[in-house]
Amino acid sequence: MTEEQKRQKFPGDYAAAAAAAASSAGGLEKRDANVAECTELNAVAKKQKKDTAAVKKMKAREIAEAKRLAEEERQRTLAAERAERQRQLEEEKRRQEEEERQLRMRDDVFSITGLKYGEAKASCGEKVTLLREPENEYDANAVKVVNGYRQLVGRIEKDKAATLSSKMKQMQEDYQSQNFKLFAEGTIVSAGDDYQQLVKVDFKKIPTKPNTAIINPYAKSTK
């Protein structure tokens, strides 16, 4: 039986079948349209996600690059500051060395040695006293340097101590005949280190009286 014969003999069934077929075809078309729309939306969302990730990655690279450049600039600044500080320190050291060289050329400036064996440190500008040590068992020409509390700071370098001690002894003998006593005052003129520092010496005449002890006018009270 042909389709035409079926349609004529069973018009109701044919109409129902046709309606079902049409409905099914419409559903398929609608489903296909929905699938196509979802596929398109998914593609758009995927592209947006990819674009967002790319933007974030680019920003992250930019931030990392900015941080790197900032760190390089900071390191350059620190290096420049360190170099400047080092230059200033070296310049100050050269200045001090030149000052000490000039001081050493003076007849009234001597080196105090053995500082690390002393009882006290002396600061630059501090007043000290020089005393002969004829009783020194190692060097009878030794000249010691003490602070205002009579604490040992150090001793005059050996190669100069003999001449200085002899000069102090002669001056003392000359002053005694005039009722004076020698007072060898020193002024620390360099910061020094653990080994030596410079002292400028000034010899003073102090009037004396028989049986009267001479008091160091620069001695500090221990009371």
Tokens of 162: 């003999």
- Range with the lowest mean pLDDT among 5-14, 49-58, 79-88, 157-166? 5-14
Going by pLDDT thresholds of 50, 70 and 90, the confidence category of residue 174 is: very high
Residue 101 has pLDDT above 70, yes or no: yes
Among 102-106, 114-118, 183-187, the range scoring the smallest mean pLDDT is: 102-106
Residue 130 has pLDDT above 90, yes or no: yes
123 pLDDT more than 90: yes
Q: What is the pLDDT of residue 106?
A: 75
pLDDT tens-digit readout, 43-62: 777 888 888 888 888 888 89
**Which residue type does 111 have?**
S
What are residue 180's phi and psi, to 5 degrees? -125, 160
pTM score:
0.55
pLDDT confidence of residue 223: 47
pLDDT tier, 136 (very low <50, low <70, confident <90, very high otherwise): very high
What is the model's pLDDT at position 47?
80
Q: Is the pLDDT of residue 214 over 50?
A: no
- Which of 130, 99, 159, 135 has its CA nearest to residue 218? 130
Q: Which of 65-69, 104-108, 194-198 has the lowest mean pLDDT?
A: 104-108
Q: Which helix (H) or strand (E) holds 88?
A: helix 11-104
- The SS3 assignment for 147 reads coil
